[in-house]
Structure 1
Amino acid sequence: MEQLIKNIAHATILPLAEEVSYQPGQIVSKTLSQNRHHSLTLFAFDKGEEISTHESSGDAMILALDGTGKITIDSTEYLLNAGETIIMPAQKPHAVFAEERFKMFLIVMFPESN
């Protein structure tokens, strides 16, 4: 049977933040699952790195795993710390900036019509 969640050990307890590593001057991503209905991705941002403002057709949830990130949603800024979460609504401009080294788990749920 095809694994629906990939690039991560199955039936194993593990610290999720350790599944993606920081790299100097980069954003590192690791896709765990993706199809037309959802996307599950781990990210590690070096300090000062960012994903610029964009929109998505799906609702996106960020779970902060390490550090602090500045999340901008529809021109409002939020500081997100390890252990906290925020929803970025579909069709609203949003961006992510690493105030310091920042790891996050991004879950995007796309509409049926996508």
Structure 2
Amino acid sequence: MEKHLIKNIEFSKVFALDSLIEYKEGQVISRTLSQGKNSSMTLFSFDKGEGISTHSSDGDAFVYMIDGEAEITIGGELFNVKQGETIVMPSGIPHGLVAAERFKMLLVVVFNQ
């Protein structure tokens, strides 16, 4: 049996990325698509006002905003990231985020081997 590296998503099917995760009132929802030693790929949805507190990561974190708007802080600098935009949170630099309005994002983290 072949081992797939991507999970929780149908193969050989076309769909809208935002349809893979729903909003829930007062919650942060995540759906892991891939988790490995070198990288991870996760879909998130955040209700307005929800967030992730400031932390650091051992990998560079690439964010693609699928829907909505987030306030992302990287090393003390605030960025407003909106639908269709991307930002990278570098490894070792404290970062956090809060939903300015509800939003969905694709997070890809690449770790140093």
Fold-level similarity (TM above 0.5): yes
- TM norm structure 1: 0.97
Q: Which aligned segments of 4 or more residues in structure 1 are displaced greater than 2 angstroms?
A: none
* Aligned residue number for residue 60 of structure 2: 59
Structure 1 position 50 matched with structure 2 position 51: yes
Instruction: For structure 2, list consecutive stretches of 5 or more residues without a partner in the other structure.
Output: none
How big is the alpha-carbon RMSD for the aligned residues of Structure 1 and Structure 2?
0.5
Partner of 2:25: 24
In the alignment, which residue of structure 1 is the partner of 2:93? 92
Q: Which whole-Å CA distance do the structure 2 matches of 1:96 and 1:13 have between them?
A: 30
**Secondary structure in 1 aligned to 2:11?**
coil
In structure 1, how many angstroms separate the alpha carbons of the residues matched to 2:31 and 2:25? 16
State, as a whole percentage, how many aligned pairs show the same letter. 47
Per the normalisation by structure 2, the TM-score is 0.98
Once the two structures are TM-superposed, the CA of residue 2 in structure 1 deviates from its matched residue by: 1.1
Structure 1 residue 29 displacement after superposition: 0.1
C-alpha separation in 2, matches of 1:13 and 1:77: 35
Instruction: Identify the residue that residue 111 of structure 2 maps to in structure 1.
Output: 110
Alignment of 1:74-85 (within 5 A): 74-85=75-86
Classify the secondary structure of the residue corresponding to 1:18.
Answer: helix
Number of residue pairs the alignment of both structures matches = 112
2:35 maps to what in 1?
34
